[in-house]
Amino acid sequence: MDNLPRYRVIYEALRGDIASGRYAPGDALPSENELCDGYKVTRPTVRKALDMLAADGFIVRRQGRKSVVKGTPKGIGILSLSGTTSALGGTLRTPVIVKPEMRQWNDAFGFPLTEAERAAGCIYFERLRVLDGEPVLLDITMLPNIGIPRFAALNMEDSSLFDILRTRYQITVTGGEQQLFAIAADRHLREHLHVRQGHPVLQLNRRIETGRPDFCIYSRIFCVTGKYGLSGTF
């Protein structure tokens, strides 16, 4: 667990410091040389960690200045790579409708599966996001049952799937593919999302690639975008 590359250790540490508020939006991070001293590494190593933070949208870099922590955008943070359940005003609950369970792969939202993924079987679960008492988002997730022991036993209520995968299993998102649709709500969606029939609903299908070969996350999201848009950084 501790044989992580040094730049990953630094990345996680700084990311944690930003998430915890130790470095607030607008704050400057220590200079690269100060970070080098602190973590006992050289500049290229520190810079790699900062590259990742910048790619994830946590910091802004500009030559001559120190790196500055970015403010997170308003909205329902789903589209961003880093998978931050970004801050919005009200209270957010995430009830689990279908608990994580083993299944046969049926269809991965139209995305092709590799042989290894199909052989491994599928872990399936559904969650709802309720914002200030109003259901805004229905989330169906499928992922292959490879190298994630005891995953099904984990509590998915509060924590982000991506945080769990990254910190517990060293699985990081490297990229992916997504398709967006604006559809009219059918009976099933009406039931969960409390909208009239025919109401415009956003549908997002995603195949999310990870650093681990043959390990993709397949996700379908339905979202009501009345008050808040589905937002994110990229």
Any idea which residue has 């872990």 for tokens?
123
- Distance, in Å, from the CA atom of 209 to the CA atom of 56, rounded to the nearest integer, reads 15
Cβ within 8 Å of residue 15, ≥6 positions away: 53, 56, 58
- Rank residues 2 and 107 by Cβ distance to DNA and give the closer one: 2
- Compose the 163-202 pattern: x for residues touching a copy of itself by CB under 8 A, - for all others: -----------xxxxxxxxxxx-------------x-xxx
How many whole angstroms separate alpha carbon 142 and alpha carbon 122?
6
* CA 201 – CA 135 distance, rounded (Å): 12
Residue among 205, 216, 217, 218 that touches a copy of itself (CB under 8 A): 205
Structure tokens at 113: 């599966």
Should residue 135 be labelled a site residue for a copy of itself when binding is judged by CB under 8 A?
no
Exposure string (b/e) for 136-148, b if CB count within 10 Å is 16 or more?
A: bbbbbbbbbbeeb
Q: Which is nearer to DNA, 36 or 138 (CB)?
A: 36
From DNA, a copy of itself, none, which one binds at residue 82 (CB under 5 to 8 Å depending on kind)?
none
Among 2, 20, 91, 234, binds a copy of itself (CB under 8 A): 234
Considering the complex, what minimum distance in angstroms separates the CB of residue 101 from DNA? 30
If the CB atoms of residues 100 and 129 are measured against a copy of itself, the closer one turns out to be 129
Please, which of residues 58-117 interact with DNA by CB under 7 A? 61-67
Binding to DNA (CB under 7 A): which residues in 6-65?
6-8, 29, 31-34, 40-45, 47-48, 50, 61-65
The interface region with a copy of itself, picked from 13-21, 72-80, 95-103, 123-131 by CB under 8 A, is: 72-80
Binding of residue 96 to a copy of itself (CB under 8 A): no
What CA–CA distance (Å, rounded) separates 46 from 66? 13
d(CA 159, CA 175): 21
Helix, coil or strand: residue 91: coil
Rounded CA separation 53/63 (Å): 16
Nearer to DNA, 42 or 114 (CB): 42
Give the footprint of DNA on this chain (CB under 7 A). 5-8, 29, 31-34, 40-45, 47-48, 50, 61-67, 213
